Amino acid sequence: MSLLSVIVPCYNEEENVAYFYEELLKQESTLAEQDLTLEILYIDDGSTDKTVEEVRKLREKDERIHLVSFSRNFGKEAAMYAGMEHSKGDFVVIMDADLQDPPSLLPEMYSYLQEGYDSVATRRVSRKGEPPIRSFFARMFYRLMKKISKTEIMDGARDYRLMTRQMVNAILSMKEYNRFTKGIFGWVGFKTKWVEFENVERVKGETKWSFWKLFLYSLDGITAFSTIPLMIAAVVGVLFCILAFLMILFIIVRKLIFGDPVSGWPSLVCIMLFLSGIQFFCTGILGQYLAKTYMEVKNRPIYLTKEEF
Ligand code: UDP
Ligand code: MG
């Protein structure tokens, strides 16, 4: 028998903890036929509701349930990392507590691992039930990432992923503080099979991601997996030098041929404003990377534990 560790990041998911457990157990017999036993790790990401108590109740019934509870909200990225660190399984899968990652896919996903893949990833092909504006920006983000990052990041990819121990260890060896797991999965490589499914709406509770939180997360993704924005300053600088050179030629020639009284104050102001705008923008980009570097250099722990069993 092999052990499958199921990692469930939970942030205020009191309504879903038990429900998720029941739904997962429906797959237990099928998985047992595939020689798999289960271990379930709930990672409480500093919930302020009864998530921990709910997990404790389950634990009284079932020894295979484990909890890692954070001292505060560290974010889903940290929760996934903690889960992988505490998992003992030969295989590891990450699943959302809200059942947006259908457990019914597990047996099929595992069958691909047996065919020789190192990881089975999922992506949703539709985004039904999501606000259109959010889908639009999500799609823009993935298109941009494809252009500016060498690491493959799939549109609609979920964090729902089944991996071998070897791949999990590779991910654990990446101890960066600014974690963007969707990129990390791609960066470590290994053979990945993609499984597609239709978007499922969250069963209970509210999404924990506001538009703003997602926007900041996308900036994290860009700075973590691409340094192209840093080149913008250099490229724009060169372009403006060329432009300035052409202007100088033009002005000298015009002066020599036509002679020229002093004029052009408004255009001068426009040019100055435009250029200082670009300068601030580029300094801002530099600042972003500097801030990320600053956080990495501090080498703070990715999460802090308050309780675990
Ligand atoms: N989550 C977490 N920490 C956070 C935010 C979310 O552990 O700071 C968990 C959450 O409990 C859920 C999963 O991450 O199990 C996905 O969150 P959510 O369903 O809110 O995101 P969505 O599916 O809307 O993208
Ligand atoms: Mg969800």
pLDDT at 129 over 80: no
Count the domains in the chain. Answer: 2
pLDDT (mean) for 162-167 = 93
pLDDT at 155 over 90: no
User: Domain range for residue 284?
Assistant: 228-298
Cβ < 6 A, ligand 1 pocket: 9-11, 13, 45, 73, 75-76, 79, 96-98, 100, 202, 207-209
Residues 186 and 281 in one domain: no
Measured between alpha carbons, how far is 141 from 135 in angstroms, rounded to an integer? 10
Measured between alpha carbons, how far is 36 from 166 in angstroms, rounded to an integer? 17
pLDDT of residue 262: 66
Residues 157 and 237 in one domain: no
pLDDT of residue 294: 86
Question: Is 88 inside any structural domain?
Answer: yes
Q: What is the CATH number of the domain that holds 200?
A: 3.90.550.10
For a ligand 1 pocket test, name from 98, 137, 181 the mutation site with the most ligand atoms within 8 angstroms of its C-beta.
Answer: 98
pLDDT of residue 42: 93
Question: Is 140 inside any structural domain?
Answer: yes
Residues 141 and 274 in one domain: no
pLDDT of residue 265: 74
Q: What is the pLDDT of residues 257-285, one digit of tens each?
A: 887 666 777 778 778 888 888 888 888 88
Question: Is 194 inside any structural domain?
Answer: yes
Residues 254 and 168 in one domain: no
Residues 165 and 276 in one domain: no
From residue 59, alpha-carbon distances to 9, 54, 226 in Å are: 16, 9, 43
Residues 235 and 139 in one domain: no
Question: Is 215 inside any structural domain?
Answer: no
Residues 198 and 62 in one domain: yes
Question: Is 89 inside any structural domain?
Answer: yes
Residues 201 and 233 in one domain: no
Residues 248 and 292 in one domain: yes
pLDDT of residue 169: 93
Question: Is 222 inside any structural domain?
Answer: no
Q: What is the pLDDT of residues 32-49, one digit of tens each?
A: 888 889 999 999 998 998
Residues 150 and 195 in one domain: yes
Total residues found in the chain within this entry = 309
Q: What is the pLDDT of residues 196-249, one digit of tens each?
A: 887 777 777 777 778 888 888 888 888 877 878 888 877 888 888 888 888 888
Question: Is 292 inside any structural domain?
Answer: yes
Q: Which ligand ends up closest to the CA of 70? A: 1
Residues 34 and 163 in one domain: yes
Measured between alpha carbons, how far is 27 from 106 in angstroms, rounded to an integer? 8
Question: Is 223 inside any structural domain?
Answer: no
pTM for this predicted structure: 0.78
Residues 28 and 177 in one domain: yes
- Give the whole-number percent of the chain exceeding pLDDT 70: 99
